[in-house]
């Protein structure tokens, strides 16, 4: 493995989130045309969204000029080289997946667990543009369960776009349906807790990805979306039936901060929690009038 120390010192890696079989990191490079390219070897599959900057990327699948909005691909157990021939600096957010996790998703989307990226990059497409925006805006702020789901769903979208195949249908057995039911009951009991996909899949006694696909098929939404729906319903009821501060309602129903709660509530109900309370608060019934002759 070859690596130029001056270029290596220009690369700052910042871990963002990590789960079983995946991790996300932000990479800021300040190298320029005077710095030599460097080569490294990766052991995981990688999908990196280029947020800022332009650079040359060489991988086992070819050479590409990376630019903002493009997705960089890296196959497991391969070497790659990056260089800044014509500009200085770049910033990327990269998802890394273990070979086992990547193979499980690829088997469902591309039809083979041996799928590998056939090209070094993919320009941003209308189908992937929402993912690019979501990665840039939400990665550092999202809840663990939200990113637990987003990582494989992002992988699904990218593999589907690259392979051009139709995802295999989800076959739900009676046993799987019962297991998803167990997870639904667990969510109802623990909706205010900090949940993650590992825990829910463990309750269902299923692999994470199989659980996620089966849950979506049966319930019609992802586990995180279901958690949010439970939290939102409970918060709305509390707002309408109690006089506790909005912040207390937010924290007690599972939201980590008030601003996130306010934004989520407005997205669902079309108004702020305060306005909702003023409109929905059950009026106090008048006392019976004292009888008089």
CATH number for region 174-280:
1.10.10.60
**pTM of the predicted protein model:** 0.81
Q: Same topology for domains 5-163 and 174-280, yes or no?
A: no
Could you give the strand order of the β-sheet that contains 78-83, starting from the edge strand earlier in sequence? 38-42, 78-83, 55-59, 62-66
Q: What is the dihedral of CA 109, 154, 71, 267, to 10 degrees?
A: 140
- 120: which 2 tokens? 């070094």
CATH 2.60.120.10 for the 5-163 domain, yes or no: yes
Domain spans of the chain, in order of start: 5-163, 174-280
80: pLDDT confidence band, cut at 50, 70 and 90? very high
Average pLDDT, the chain: 88
Write out pLDDT tens, residues 30-69. 999 888 887 888 999 999 999 999 999 999 999 999 999 8
3-class DSSP state of 237: helix
Write out pLDDT tens, residues 119-128. 999 987 888 8
Predicted pLDDT of residue 289: 52
């Amino acid at each position: 493995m070859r690596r130029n120390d001056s270029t290596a010192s220009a690369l700052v890696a910042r871990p963002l989130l990590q789960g079983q079989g995946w991790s996300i990191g932000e990479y800021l490079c300040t190298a320029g045309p005077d710095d030599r390219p460097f080569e490294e070897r990766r052991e995981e599959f990688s999908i990196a969204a280029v947020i800022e900057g332009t650079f040359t990327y060489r991988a086992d699948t070819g050479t590409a000029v990376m630019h903002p909005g493009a997705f960089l691909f890296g196959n497991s157990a391969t070497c790659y080289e990056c260089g800044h021939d014509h500009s200085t600096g770049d910033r990327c957010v990269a998802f890394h997946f273990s070979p086992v996790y990547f193979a499980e998703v690829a088997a469902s989307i591309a039809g083979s667990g041996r799928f590998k990226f056939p090209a070094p990059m993919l320009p941003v497409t209308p189908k992937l543009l929402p993912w690019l925006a979501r990665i840039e805006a939400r990665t550092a702020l999202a809840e663990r369960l939200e990113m637990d789901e987003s990582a494989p769903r992002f992988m699904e979208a990218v593999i589907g776009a690259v392979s051009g195949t139709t995802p295999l249908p989800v076959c739900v057995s009676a046993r799987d349906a019962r297991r998803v039911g167990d997870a639904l009951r667990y969510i109802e009991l623990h909706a205010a807790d900090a949940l993650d996909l590992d825990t829910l899949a463990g309750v269902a006694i299923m692999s994470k990805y199989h659980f996620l696909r089966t849950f979506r098929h049966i319930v019609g939404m992802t586990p995180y979306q279901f958690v949010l729906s439970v939290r939102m319903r409970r918060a709305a009821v509390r707002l309408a039936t109690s006089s506790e501060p909005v912040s207390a309602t937010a924290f007690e129903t599972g939201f980590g901060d008030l601003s996130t709660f306010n934004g989520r509530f407005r997205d669902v109900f079309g108004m702020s929690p305060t306005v909702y309370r003023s409109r929905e608060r059950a009026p106090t019934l008048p006392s019976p009038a004292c009888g008089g002759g």
